[in-house]
């Protein structure tokens, strides 16, 4: 291990150098090759952005002028009124229009002038007044505009002398036919000053570094940007950007002044060389320093690893492999330990919860374990505890609908919902699933007030409503009595469990309170058994009074608040006794009651629902029972049954089951009636008929034994031969050889 520690420092120090030096060298040389091109591209990109900004800014300004003028014309009716008026019209109209033209001109300082030409009298209205076309200085432009009626763009740069002015000015102009959009009554002419456009562009350029030239559509220079006013064309460099304005048709060409780019690149190249050299020196110093500094912690880690016994591979090649193996071993041990700790803690909590509800008596021990294991925040001095139980009503249906994973998720959600609601109500709770369908909720009370129990009931009702609405999960809650010590929690649990045991009689009350229930008295059950016996008797004797007895019995269930288990047991006993009584008459009725019994008893949430299910089923059964009893005479039915057997004894499927289906009575009852009427069993009567027919066929026909067997209802000759020998004393073959005569016919009971 010591040799590994010595090697580590050398590896750490030397492993960086080759790749470091190669990388730095490549970067330095590539930087010289690529820097010039990158600088040119970046300069061209920056120059293009700047030129595009100037062009778009100029386009926006020109477009804004055009839109403002057009908006003025569209929104004011004075222009149309002027065009269609006569020279002798009211002068107020002309005065108002001149005033609006002045406002239009003064609102935008780039507008040199705006004037209105009326074609009807060839007059021009300017901000200075009205004049005829023949004396107007800009007459040539108006005449050209009248000829070019469809042109809608901006003109080339031109010289214009305003009314009352001597010096011509450079402008660009646009005219609009009035009335808008394609009228022929006149023109509105907009003149934008080139001088003001140049004054807008000059501040956005730096003529000491770059140049900007604006050319018209024919390629002639319109404007050269310059802040000093000097002619800088002799110093221009290569054009880097050339853009064309769609608004004006001008071409913007720009670039860097000759000598500026190369001087800048040269300076930056020298700076880059110095920075690269300094970086290499500092990197070497830093690597040596950091290697020395990192060596000591790694050495300390290796010494610590040597001092402990870990399950690590013995063939570790270097320190990093050893450290990695050691960390992996420690992490695995830590994870296993944490997992076991969590499992152990959960088991201890569950055991403590079960001890609490089981009624363990050692208060001091419970207090110690409670402070150590409980997951809820206990008040400093809890004055009381309450046990509440939550139960999923139709748990078997819950298991059928949801998978095991979904069941766990829903149970977890239920716990979180109640904890959140109890926390909002100011209670601290601890929840544990006691069984598959039942969750226990221990609540620590910081104080006991008159409104405490109503608040607990309200929290449970909120939880029940939320879960039934969102999760479609019907719940019931049982609230136990309030106790003062941990050793008394078992009594509160029993009280809550007792409350849940009265869920049927409590009806729609989702939260059942144990303190409000009377103690169970089993002596009251004896009258119920007598009442059940009388109910079944009335049912069997076709006495409609069984309905009243059933209703009175359920009323007594509710008044005496019997437990759910006792109610279900009494109802089950009634159904079993009734099934036996009606089963004597019809197996179908017995099966009907047996099959529907579980459905009637399971899943009923209230006593009224259970009563409704039982009443509906018994009414249907009673209707069938009365119909069978009143429409059939036993003696007539058994006589009909005898004739049916005599006509169909050759049918191999003839059996008691067949007769029970045919005559709507149980097979056992059919056998019983046959025996009572004819003093012989059904099977014996059937065999007698078949053997008599067999003797006739053996004596009078040439059919084979197998054919005779099939004709009288047997599947094969072996079974037929065995039965024939038992009754006739000889085999079918011997009977035919001896040419015995058939025995005389016999009637049942003879």
User: What counts of helices (H) and strands (E) characterise the chain?
Assistant: 26, 15
**pLDDT for res 30:** 64
Tokens 């002309």 locate to 94
**Inter-residue contact 276 to 31 (CB < 8 Å):** yes
Sign of CA dihedral 102, 107, 113, 117: negative
**pLDDT for res 630:** 55
**pLDDT for res 1:** 46
Q: pLDDT of 382-402, one tens digit each?
A: 778 888 888 887 777 778 788
**pLDDT for res 234:** 45
Is 50 exceeded by the pLDDT of residue 229?
yes
Most confident of 13-27, 544-558, 699-713: 699-713
Q: pLDDT of 175-207, one tens digit each?
A: 888 887 777 788 888 888 888 888 888 888 777
Which alpha helices (H) appear in 393-524, and where do they start and end?
A: 395-401, 404-424, 452-470, 489-500, 503-506
Q: pLDDT of 42-72, one tens digit each?
A: 777 887 888 888 888 888 888 888 888 888 8
208 versus 133: which is more confidently predicted? 133
Mean pLDDT of 109-135: 84
Is 70 exceeded by the pLDDT of residue 629?
no
> Per DSSP, which regions of 342-455 are E strands?
384-392, 428-433, 438-445
**pLDDT for res 750:** 47
602 versus 710: which is more confidently predicted? 710
**pLDDT for res 506:** 55
Mean pLDDT of 72-98: 78
**pTM for the structure as a whole:** 0.38
Q: Mean pLDDT of all residues in the chain?
A: 77
Q: Is residue 602 helix, strand or coil?
A: coil
Q: Is residue 436 helix, strand or coil?
A: coil
What percentage of the chain exceeds 90 in pLDDT? 0
């Amino acid at each position: 291990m010591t040799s590994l520690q010595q090697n580590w420092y050398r590896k750490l120090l030397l492993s960086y150098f080759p790749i470091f030096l190669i990388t730095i060298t490549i970067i330095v040389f590539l930087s010289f090759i690529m820097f010039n091109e990158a600088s040119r591209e970046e300069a061209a990109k920056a120059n293009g952005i700047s030129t595009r900004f100037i062009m778009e800014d100029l386009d926006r300004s020109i477009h804004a002028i055009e839109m403002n003028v057009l908006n003025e014309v569209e929104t004011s009716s004075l222009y149309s009124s002027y065009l269609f008026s006569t020279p002798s019209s009211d002068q107020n109209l002309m005065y108002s229009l001149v005033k609006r033209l002045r406002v239009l001109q003064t609102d935008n300082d780039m507008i040199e002038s705006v004037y209105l030409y009326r074609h009807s009298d060839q007059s021009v209205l300017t901000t200075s007044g009205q004049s005829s076309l023949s004396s107007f200085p800009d007459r040539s432009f108006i005449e050209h505009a009248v000829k070019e009626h469809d042109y809608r763009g901006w003109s080339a740069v031109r010289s214009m002398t305003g009314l009352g002015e001597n010096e011509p000015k450079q402008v660009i102009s646009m005219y609009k036919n009035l009335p808008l959009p394609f009228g022929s009554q006149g023109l509105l002419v907009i003149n934008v000053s080139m001088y003001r456009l140049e004054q807008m562009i000059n501040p956005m350029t730096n003529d000491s570094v770059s140049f900007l030239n604006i050319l018209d559509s024919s390629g002639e220079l319109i404007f050269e940007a310059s802040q000093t006013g000097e002619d800088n064309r002799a110093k221009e460099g290569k054009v880097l950007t050339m853009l064309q304005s769609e608004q004006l048709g001008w071409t913007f060409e720009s670039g860097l002044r000759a000598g500026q780019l190369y001087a800048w690149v040269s300076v930056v190249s020298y700076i880059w060389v110095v920075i690269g050299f300094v970086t290499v020196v500092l990197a070497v110093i830093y690597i040596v320093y950091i290697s020395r500094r990192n060596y000591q912690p790694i050495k300390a880690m290796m010494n610590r690893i040597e001092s402990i016994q870990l399950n690590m591979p013995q063939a570790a090649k270097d320190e990093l492999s050893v450290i990695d193996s050691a960390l992996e071993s420690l992490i695995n041990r830590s994870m296993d330990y944490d997992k076991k700790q969590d499992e152990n803690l959960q088991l201890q909590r569950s055991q403590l919860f079960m001890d609490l509800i089981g009624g363990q008596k050692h208060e001091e021990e419970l207090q110690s374990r409670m402070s150590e294991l409980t997951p809820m925040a206990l008040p400093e001095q809890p004055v009381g505890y309450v046990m509440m139980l939550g139960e999923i009503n139709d748990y078997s249906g819950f298991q059928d609908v949801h998978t095991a994973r979904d069941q766990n998720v829903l149970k977890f959600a239920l716990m979180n919902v109640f904890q959140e609601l109890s926390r909002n109500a100011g209670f601290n709770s601890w929840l544990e699933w006691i069984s598959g369908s039942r969750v226990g909720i221990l609540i620590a009370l910081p104080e006991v007030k008159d409104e405490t129990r109503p608040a607990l009931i309200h929290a449970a009702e909120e939880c029940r409503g939320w879960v039934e609405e969102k999760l479609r999960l019907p719940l019931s809650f049982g609230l136990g009595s309030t106790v003062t010590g941990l050793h008394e929690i078992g009594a509160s649990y029993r009280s809550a469990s007792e409350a849940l045991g009265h869920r049927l009689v409590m009806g729609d009350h989702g939260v059942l309170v144990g303190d409000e229930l009377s103690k169970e008295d089993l002596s009251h059950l004896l009258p119920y058994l007598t009442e059940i016996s009388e109910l079944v008797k009335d049912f069997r004797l076709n006495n409609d009074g069984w309905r009243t007895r059933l209703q009175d019995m359920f009323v007594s269930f509710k008044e005496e608040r019997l437990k759910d288990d006792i109610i279900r047991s009494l109802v089950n006993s009634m159904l079993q006794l009734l099934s036996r009584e009606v089963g004597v008459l019809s197996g179908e009725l017995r099966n009907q009651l047996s099959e529907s019994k579980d459905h009637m008893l399971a899943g009923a949430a209230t006593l009224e629902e259970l009563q409704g299910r039982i009443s509906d089923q018994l009414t249907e059964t009673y209707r069938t029972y009365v119909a069978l009893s009143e429409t059939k005479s036993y003696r007539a039915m058994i006589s009909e049954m005898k004739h049916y057997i005599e006509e169909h004894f050759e049918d191999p499927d003839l059996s008691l089951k067949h007769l029970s289906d045919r005559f709507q009575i149980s097979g056992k009852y059919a056998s019983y009636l046959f025996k009572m009427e004819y003093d012989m069993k059904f099977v014996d009567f059937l065999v007698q008929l078949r053997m008599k027919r067999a003797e006739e066929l053996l004596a009078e026909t040439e059919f084979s034994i197998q054919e005779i067997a099939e004709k009288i209802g047997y599947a094969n000759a072996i079974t037929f031969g065995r039965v024939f020998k038992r009754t006739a004393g000889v085999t079918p073959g011997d009977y035919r050889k001896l040419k015995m005569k058939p025995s005389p016919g016999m009637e049942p009971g003879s």
